[in-house]
Structure 1
Amino acid sequence: MMEGENLTKEQIEDEIRKIKEKHAEDEEFPDEVDTPIDVPARRRFAKYRGLKSFRTSSWDPKESLPPEYAKIYAFDNFTRTQKHVLAKALEMEQGGSDDCIPASSYATLHVKDVPTGVASKLCMLAKKMPIIACGLLQHESKISVLHFSVKKHDTYTAPIKAKEELVFHVGFRQYVCRPIFSSDNINSDKHKMERFLHAGQFSIATIYAPISFPPLPLVVLKCEAASTSPSVAAVGSLRSIDPDRIIAKKIILTGYPQRVSKLKSTVRYMFHNPEDVRWFKPVEVWSKCGRRGLIKEPVGTHGAMKCVFNGVLQQHDTVCMSLFKRMYPKWPQHWFPLLGA
């Protein structure tokens, strides 16, 4: 029988807390999460998967897409489409087409079927400030997944969290959205999600929004609770439109060596029942001191497991397992009727 087989749930939680306090000074791994004791790990982390290599392992971008993807538009070749649309617009502008008005000309706009309340507010607004009327290029009325290269503004010191409600002012359009942030990794088709927008470096902000063609300047505004006017939180530009860009959230499950014998080690507290050990057995484990290994079999009934490493494991080392889940931006609240249409 393994040591600790008869511990209660409270005793196990207390033991894990004591072990983590000893490793509290290690801030190199911020993705660590605790495995719940009362919920099976195979259910709690059902949407996560293990990768042999984050850079080279395959990941199907069309797999298990959310319902929002049924309402967005995707291009077979966005670069070619952008070139065609801009060339067509330039041809119409320079060709003297009946659909175009020459530059520097005065025009009168007649807008039909506008509610009285909206028209009156628009007229009152026109007396205070100019109103901009813009035409849309082909596809710019459709929704897709837009990626922006953004950098936190030097004057903004408050944290900007992922999926936080922000105002994106893109070109002549402005909309409320809840972006997610990711690293700009050009050597891989997968990009690690960032929980915050870090100061002094560029990140990629991903949102659902109407299609626009880059390059377009971006100003990110954030409405503060104590202030009546929004603050400039970040600046950037439109990078690309690509629903297939994979943004992966990384978590790390941790366990601690109980017995070490040459290349073999018994690890506890990563899981809490043998079924979870068998479920995650194909995933590679690694240690913070640089060892890599595999799970061989569960030991006992409380989730301890026997592992084999490529070197001798130190008794004070921590055994880790990396898991990844694809993340998507939040669909704007005011677009939910569109989602159900």
Structure 2
Amino acid sequence: MSITFILNGLLLSLVLYQLKEEIELRKQMNIAELNELDETARIETEGFRTGTYLRLEIHDVPSEMVEYFDPYHPILVGGVGLGEENVGYMQARLKRHRWHKKVLKTRDPIIVSVGWRRYQTTPVYAIEDINGRHRMLKYTPEHMHCLAMFWGPLAPPSTGIVAVQNLSNNQATFRITATAVVVEFKHEARIVKKIKLVGYPCKIFKKTALIKDMFTSDLEVARFEGASIRTVSGIRGQVKKVAKEEIGNQPKRKGGQTKEGIARCTFEDKILMSDIVFLRAWTQVEVPQFYNPLTTALQPRDKTWQGMRTVAELRRENNLSIPVNKDSLYKKIERKQRKFNPVVIPKSLQASLPFESKPKDIPKRKRPLLEERRKKGVVMDPHERKVHALVQQYQLIRNDKMKKRKVNEEKKRKVLEVERAKEEELSKKRRREERRVKYRAQDKQNKKIRRA
């Protein structure tokens, strides 16, 4: 068996050696034939050989690129696929880089490097809820990923992205802002945020009310038909439709029609004119369609490219303070306790109620009870006042003595604890010495027994 295996291996090696010799012979014959041809015919037959130079002719090049061309900075030439020539929305999974010192703000411009392209864009950050809704974030999370939606030339999914805040020739201040990867392109920009609309009743019926100042137009009322609303007192309701009837004390438009934006709403119970009505809803956020390609090759190398600046940079340059909205400041809310009228039960209904549920007409007492008189206070005569003052003085003296006694007892207890700790330490040393003497005597006795 082993001899057959060795023979087969020798035959295979011989066949491979013959094939290599034939390939090398054909290669030498091809080279000899191609050497006889001129350069043009050889390129048409063989193609461009390794090490030959390729000349590219590029049309419609800006004159600044030729004027500021620097041979120490080579130009890379690449190709873009057909699907990457279009412009649209891209969704990326982004995380702020640990080198960047601050969080990123929505709609602040950043410079992204996606594939062959570098451009400036204004992303909108969002996070996906449990129900699949993309909720807008004002700032990027501290230590987790989020979704970034921005407008620019499309790139295929799984394309890596590197983002920076600005370009600088000073490498000491350079920081990578964020890293991301394209999740989806040609994606519909469906990002929402919470809104809270506030309205006030202008006319109240039984369980229906007309709400003003919540919407600005009838079209907006139609947009929120069927939405749930709620008052401060906790009464729930629903937006029904636009109010078309006349309202006496409301401003009117031309033609005698009512003011726009008044909605007819129904509630669980009758509301008051002092109630405030809230509507919590979601509205779609518009992602800016902005991208600015970097033109660093069209200017001198020692000049830093300047693109769109952030709002913070503009405020810093113009020495403008941050606007403060007083309604957005946190403040203590103090609401007066509301007093509701007592429940009035009709007499026809009282007849059918059981006795314990019927309202009891208890006449008022002319003389108050003893408990009520005690609550008002007891008036003491001069002797009782002296006795009461003397008792309070004795109690004060007793309490002071008890405090001093507790302090003295605490001091004595601490002294005793220190003495007990010292005695315990001495007893430990004594027991240790006794054990040492005992074990030495036992060891000597054992040695004598072994020698014997």
Q: Which moved more, 1:304-313 or 1:195-204?
A: 304-313
The 3-state SS of whatever aligns with 1:183 is strand
Q: Check 1:221–1:333 CA distance in 2 against 1; reply closer, same or farther (3 A cut).
A: closer
The 3-state SS of whatever aligns with 2:128 is coil
Residue number among 123, 126, 148 corresponding to 1:205 in the alignment: 148
1:276 and 1:207 map into 2 onto residues whose CA distance is 30
Which residue is equivalent to 1:56? none
The 3-state SS of whatever aligns with 2:84 is coil
Which residue is equivalent to 1:332? 291
Q: Does 1:166 align with 2:113?
A: no
After superposition, where does 1:195-274 map in structure 2 within 5 Å?
A: 195-223=138-166, 230-255=174-199, 269-271=213-215
Q: Which amino acid in 2 is paired with 1:111?
A: L
Q: Say which one has the larger Rg.
A: 2
1:33-54 Cα distance to aligned partner (Å, 9 max, x none): xxxxxxxxxxxxxxxxxxxxxx
Contact 1:281 1:294 in 2 (8 A): no
User: What is the deviation of 1:241?
Assistant: 0.7
2:92 and 2:105 map into 1 onto residues whose CA distance is 16
Runs (4+) of structure 1 exceeding 4 A deviation are 114-117, 227-230, 256-269, 275-281, 288-292, 296-300, 302-306, 310-318
Which residue is equivalent to 2:123? 179
2:115 and 2:130 map into 1 onto residues whose CA distance is 26
Contact 1:249 1:327 in 2 (8 A): no
1:151 and 1:313 map into 2 onto residues whose CA distance is 48
The 3-state SS of whatever aligns with 1:167 is strand
Which residue is equivalent to 2:55? 110
Q: Check 1:256–1:139 CA distance in 2 against 1; reply closer, same or farther (3 A cut).
A: same
Q: Which amino acid in 2 is paired with 1:208?
A: W
1:153 and 1:284 map into 2 onto residues whose CA distance is 41
The 3-state SS of whatever aligns with 2:158 is coil
Which residue is equivalent to 2:265? 307
User: What is the deviation of 1:167?
Assistant: 0.2
Q: Check 1:145–1:268 CA distance in 2 against 1; reply closer, same or farther (3 A cut).
A: closer
1:107-144 Cα distance to aligned partner (Å, 9 max, x none): 6342324456424534x2x42x5543333334223323
User: What is the deviation of 1:160?
Assistant: 2.6
1:145-188 Cα distance to aligned partner (Å, 9 max, x none): 21111122234343533222210112443111122223335744
Tell me the TM-score normalized by structure 2: 0.40
Residue number among 135, 138, 141 corresponding to 2:79 in the alignment: 135
2:183 and 2:129 map into 1 onto residues whose CA distance is 13
1:274-315 Cα distance to aligned partner (Å, 9 max, x none): x68965662413238776422357565167766333578798
1:312 and 1:231 map into 2 onto residues whose CA distance is 60
Q: Check 1:277–1:311 CA distance in 2 against 1; reply closer, same or farther (3 A cut).
A: farther
Give the number of aligned pairs. Answer: 229
Contact 2:198 2:276 in 1 (8 A): no
Contact 1:148 1:237 in 2 (8 A): yes
2:65 and 2:74 map into 1 onto residues whose CA distance is 16
1:3-32 Cα distance to aligned partner (Å, 9 max, x none): xxxxxxxxxxxxxxxxxxxxxxxxxxxxxx
Identify which of structures 1 and 2 has the higher relative contact order when contacts are C-alpha pairs closer than 8 Å and 6+ apart: 1
1:136 and 1:326 map into 2 onto residues whose CA distance is 31
Which residue is equivalent to 1:295? 239
1:134 and 1:211 map into 2 onto residues whose CA distance is 16
1:333 and 1:137 map into 2 onto residues whose CA distance is 20
Contact 2:189 2:286 in 1 (8 A): no
Q: Quick check: which one's helix share is greater?
A: 2
Q: Does 1:121 align with 2:68?
A: yes
The 3-state SS of whatever aligns with 2:105 is coil
The 3-state SS of whatever aligns with 1:195 is coil
1:138 and 1:267 map into 2 onto residues whose CA distance is 54
Which residue is equivalent to 1:191? 134
For structure 2, the residue ranges without an aligned partner over 5 or more in a row are 1-44, 252-260, 295-452
The 3-state SS of whatever aligns with 2:68 is helix
Which residue is equivalent to 1:154? 98
Q: Check 1:101–1:144 CA distance in 2 against 1; reply closer, same or farther (3 A cut).
A: farther
% of aligned pairs identical? 19
Q: Quick check: which one's strand share is greater?
A: 1
The 3-state SS of whatever aligns with 1:139 is helix
Root-mean-square deviation (CA, aligned residues, Å) is 4.4
1:288 and 1:230 map into 2 onto residues whose CA distance is 52
Tell me the TM-score normalized by structure 1: 0.51
User: What is the deviation of 1:220?
Assistant: 1.4
2:265 and 2:219 map into 1 onto residues whose CA distance is 14
